[in-house]
C-alpha cells in the first residue's frame, strides 16, 4: 500500500485510547485514509463540527484495556454501535452490522496516540453540516455517504 506522504510512519501497532485512559486500543494496520463525517448524529455524538474516523478491518483493531469495563456502546440506529468510555465520554468507534461494513470498524482518529503522517481525507454528509462551520480545505466533499464505486471498501486501493 502506498502512502500519500513520505513522512516516516511510527511502528505498528498504533496505540490509542480515551481521555482518562480507562479504555485503550491498538491498530495493526496502516491508516492511509480518514473521513470527516458532518452528519447530525456524529456532530451530536462528538459535540463537534464533525467526527473524524479511520476505517480498518475488524481483525486489525482491538481494545487492550477496558473492553470488559469502561467501554460502553450506544446503538444510535438499528445495527449501528458507537462505543465510548463510560468515565470520560471519549467516543472511540463506530461500527455497523450492515453486510458491507460488518468486517470493518471505524475508530475515532482523534483518540490515536501515534503521530501518523497525514492520511488522504474527505468530508462526508456535508449536506447536514453545522450551519456555523465552513469547510475551507481542499479535501473532496460528498453531500452524503461516499459513493460506493469510489469507496476504498470496494477495493479501490489506487487513490
Which of 90, 133, 135, 138 is CA-nearest to residue 118? 138
Q: Which residues pair with 85 in a beta bridge?
A: 71
State the minimum distance, in angstroms, from the CB of residue 76 to Zn ion.
9
Stretch 12-71 residues interacting with Zn ion (CB under 5 A): 18, 20, 22, 37, 39, 42
| CA atoms within a 13 Å half-sphere pointing along the CA-CB vector of 60 | 17
Q: Which is nearer to Zn ion, 30 or 129 (CB)?
A: 129
Binding mask 82-121 for Zn ion (x = CB under 5 A): ---x-xx---------------------------------
Angle of CA points 86, 90, 94, to nearest 5°: 95
Nearer to Zn ion, 24 or 27 (CB): 24
* Cβ 52 to Zn ion shortest distance, Å: 10
Nearest CB to Zn ion, comparing residues 3 and 20: 20
Measure CA 116 to chain center. 14
Q: Tell me if 119 sits within 8 A of 31, measured CB to CB.
A: yes
Rule CB under 5 A: which residues touch Zn ion?
18, 20, 22, 37, 39, 42, 85, 87-88
Amino acid at each position: 500500500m502506498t502512502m500519500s506522504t513520505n513522512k516516516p510512519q511510527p511502528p505498528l501497532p498504533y496505540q490509542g485510547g480515551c481521555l482518562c485512559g480507562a479504555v485503550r486500543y491498538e491498530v495493526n494496520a496502516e491508516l492511509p485514509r480518514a473521513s470527516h463525517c458532518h452528519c447530525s448524529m456524529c456532530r451530536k455524538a462528538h459535540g463537534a463540527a464533525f467526527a473524524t474516523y479511520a476505517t480498518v478491518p475488524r481483525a486489525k483493531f482491538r481494545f487492550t484495556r477496558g473492553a470488559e469495563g469502561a467501554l460502553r456502546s450506544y446503538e444510535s440506529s438499528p445495527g449501528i454501535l458507537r462505543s465510548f468510555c463510560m468515565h470520560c465520554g471519549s467516543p472511540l468507534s463506530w461500527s455497523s452490522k450492515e453486510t458491507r461494513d460488518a468486517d470493518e470498524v471505524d475508530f475515532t482518529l482523534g483518540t490515536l496516540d501515534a503521530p501518523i503522517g497525514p492520511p488522504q481525507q474527505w468530508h462526508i454528509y456535508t449536506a447536514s453540516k453545522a450551519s456555523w462551520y465552513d469547510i475551507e480545505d481542499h479535501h473532496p466533499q460528498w453531500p452524503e455517504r461516499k459513493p460506493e464505486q469510489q469507496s476504498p471498501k470496494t477495493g479501490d486501493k489506487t487513490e
